[in-house]
């Protein structure tokens, strides 16, 4: 084998190794991005399902939406929701309020990172002020969630639209960085618009 042949074989082998390495890195990155995207969808779906289950038993609402504001602009939007509902969301007793508790869906206080990120949580409170209580994270701050509770003027007074968004740090090929989930929440025992 001559020196020229050796250099050509070495260059071809280096190119093949470089191509295989780049393909492997791309495959691993896309797999991680798809796994993260799957986690986002799971958390968004869980949050909307949790809201639908808890809000159905609400008998008092502290976050009141204005039908007059909604009629002027078409919608009244809030970024938190406070209401009283059943502690056991699978046993709804509308005539008994001793087994109820207060809930609050909101974004936690910002952390110290730049830009600040917040968790979307549900807080189980002792009273309507929700000053104290236990919190459960629905969407982790890693995904930079946002929430909007929207009352639209054409909707019935017991219907609320929720829009959740989250962002992925690793984006699969051909996908958007931001993921949005919308849902409708019906309140059976109270009107949220007044």
Please report, in tens digits, the pLDDT of each residue of the chain (194 residues total): 788 888 999 999 999 999 999 999 999 999 999 999 999 999 999 999 999 999 999 989 999 888 776 556 678 899 999 999 999 888 888 788 788 999 999 998 766 666 778 899 999 998 888 888 899 999 999 899 999 999 988 888 889 999 999 998 888 888 888 999 999 999 998 888 87
Query: Alpha-carbon distance 10 to 16, whole Å?
Result: 10
Question: Whole-prediction pTM value?
Answer: 0.83
What sections of the chain are H helices per DSSP?
3-55, 67-73
Per-residue pLDDT, 48: 96
Per-residue pLDDT, 110: 63
Among residues 67, 69, 59, 128, which one has the least CA distance to residue 94? Answer: 59
Per-residue pLDDT, 99: 86
Evaluate whether 143 touches 75 at the Cβ level (below 8 Å).
Answer: no
The verdict on residue 45 lying in a domain is: yes
The verdict on residue 161 lying in a domain is: yes
Evaluate whether 51 touches 69 at the Cβ level (below 8 Å).
Answer: no
Residue 152: strand pairing partners: 75
Evaluate whether 36 touches 168 at the Cβ level (below 8 Å).
Answer: yes
The verdict on residue 60 lying in a domain is: yes
Per-residue pLDDT, 164: 96
Residue span of the structural domain in which 107 resides: 33-186
**Number of structural domains, the chain?**
1
Cβ-Cβ contacts under 8 Å for 38 (sequence gap 6 or more)? none
Evaluate whether 52 touches 187 at the Cβ level (below 8 Å).
Answer: no
The verdict on residue 24 lying in a domain is: no
The pair phi, psi for residue 31, each rounded to 5°, is: -65, -45
Reported residue count of the chain is 194
The verdict on residue 27 lying in a domain is: no
The verdict on residue 1 lying in a domain is: no
The verdict on residue 16 lying in a domain is: no
Per-residue pLDDT, 28: 93
The verdict on residue 82 lying in a domain is: yes
């Amino acid at each position: 084998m001559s020196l020229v042949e050796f250099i050509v074989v070495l260059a071809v082998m280096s190119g093949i190794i470089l191509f295989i390495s780049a393909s492997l890195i791309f495959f691993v990155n896309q797999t991680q991005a798809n796994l993260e995207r799957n986690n986002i969808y799971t958390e968004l779906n869980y949050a909307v399902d949790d809201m639908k289950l808890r809000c159905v038993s609400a008998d008092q609402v502290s976050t009141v939406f204005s039908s007059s504001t909604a009629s002027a602009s078409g919608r009244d939007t809030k970024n938190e929701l406070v209401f009283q509902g059943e502690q056991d969301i699978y046993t709804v007793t509308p005539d008994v309020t001793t087994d109820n508790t207060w809930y609050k869906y909101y974004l936690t206080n910002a952390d110290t990172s730049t830009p600040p990120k917040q968790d979307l949580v549900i807080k189980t409170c002792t009273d309507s002020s929700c000053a104290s209580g236990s919190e459960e994270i629905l969407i982790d701050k890693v995904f930079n969630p946002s929430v909007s509770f929207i009352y639209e003027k054409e909707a019935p007074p017991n219907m609320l639209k929720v829009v959740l968004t989250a962002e992925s740090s690793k984006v699969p090929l051909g996908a958007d960085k931001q993921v949005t989930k919308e849902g409708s929440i019906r309140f059976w025992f109270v009107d949220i618009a007044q």
